[in-house]
């Protein structure tokens, strides 16, 4: 057993998606596409008899993280730190689940592979009703295209071979469970069409275009998001809604050019990974 381990998991903003349910949570999930972000969640795990979870210093209860620890038969102190907005469509719960899986696997020396750990984290988040596709995208990095649903052991992935500066603004959340737990036929129909169009032309511009159309056709587009996207388009930029949240993401300097004061990051190229060795004195308490 090690004293400590730390992992970084990129944030993830979904542009469009389908809802593909199954009895086995590792086979359930979604098809779709999104952006993995250089801003993400850093998770530190230390062994402890008492299980404790903190996010940005505050005690929290995240069902997906508890599900991961149960699957790994692990206790431990879990510390997660992020600058991303929580509950606004940036995949924070998925990042915490995957980061916990990576770090706990190292601390408790479970000997599992990256695919196996991502499968555990994906199933944990599906069971918690907090996401269907973030974990597999965050493991992948870049601009992942989820061609088939489910965990890495059953799904099929591709990607848009581009990177970009990314700007975002947010104004709240849209509860994930309310969307994926309701009537999802319209979502899946629109998501399937967007996926088909992006596969035919796998570029960032097509990703934004198909994501905007998806938001309109599924009636998920809010008035606030509509107005911000309109402003970016009027300034000559490309922007879309981040699913599921009151969030707008833009490529390049789209939001800045439209007069907003956005947060700025990049497309993350590598995906989730363990960080410094356990002896690194810079690891946070």
β-pairing verdict for 5-17 and 273-274 = antiparallel
Torsion of the alpha carbons at 8, 82, 48 and 4, rounded to the nearest 10: 40
Kindly state whether residue 285 falls inside one of the protein's structural domains. Answer: no
Per-position pLDDT tens, the chain of length 285: 899 999 999 999 999 999 999 999 999 999 999 999 999 999 999 999 889 999 999 999 999 999 999 999 998 899 999 999 998 999 999 999 999 999 999 999 999 999 999 999 999 999 999 999 999 999 999 999 999 999 999 999 999 999 999 999 999 776 655 555 567 899 999 999 999 999 999 999 999 999 999 999 999 999 999 999 999 999 999 999 999 889 999 999 999 999 999 999 999 999 999 997 655 545 655
CA–CA gap between residue 268 and residue 245 (Å, rounded): 20
User: Where in the sequence is the domain holding 203, given as residue range(s)?
Assistant: 1-276
- Whether pTM > 0.85 for this model: the answer is yes
141: CATH: 3.30.230.120
In whole angstroms, give the CA distance from residue 187 to residue 217: 8
Would residue 282 count as lying in a domain?
no
Domain count, the chain: 1
Is residue 21, in this structure, part of any structural domain at all? yes
Task: Count CB-CB contacts under 10 A for residue 199.
Answer: 13
* 124 belongs to a structural domain: yes
């Amino acid at each position: 057993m090690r004293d400590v381990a730390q992992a970084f998991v990129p944030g993830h903003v979904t542009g469009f998606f389908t809802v593909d349910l199954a009895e086995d949570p590792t086979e359930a999930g979604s098809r779709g596409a999104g952006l993995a972000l250089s801003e993400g969640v850093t998770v530190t795990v230390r062994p402890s008899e008492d299980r404790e979870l903190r996010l940005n210093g505050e005690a929290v209860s995240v069902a997906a993280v508890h599900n991961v620890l149960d699957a790994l038969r692990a206790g431990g102190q879990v510390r997660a730190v992020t600058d991303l907005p929580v509950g606004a469509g940036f995949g924070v719960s998925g990042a915490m689940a995957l980061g916990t899986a990576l770090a706990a696997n190292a601390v408790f020396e479970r000997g599992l592979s990256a695919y196996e750990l991502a499968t555990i984290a994906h199933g944990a988040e599906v069971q918690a009703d907090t996401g269907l596709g973030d974990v597999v995208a965050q493991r992948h990095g870049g601009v992942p295209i989820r061609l088939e649903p489910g965990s890495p052991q059953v799904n099929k992935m591709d990607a848009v071979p581009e990177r970009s500066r990314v700007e975002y603004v947010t104004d709240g959340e849209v509860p994930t469970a309310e969307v994926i737990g309701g009537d999802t036929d319209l979502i899946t129909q629109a998501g399937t069409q967007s996926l088909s169009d992006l596969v035919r032309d796998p570029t960032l511009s097509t990703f934004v275009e198909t994501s905007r159309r998806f938001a309109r056709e599924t009636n998920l587009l809010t008035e606030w998001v509509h107005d911000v996207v309109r402003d970016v388009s009027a300034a000559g930029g490309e922007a879309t809604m981040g699913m599921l949240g009151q969030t707008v993401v833009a490529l390049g300097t789209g939001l800045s050019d439209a007069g907003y004061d956005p947060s700025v990051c990049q497309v993350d190229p590598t995906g989730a990974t363990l960080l410094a060795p356990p002896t690194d004195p810079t690891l946070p308490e």
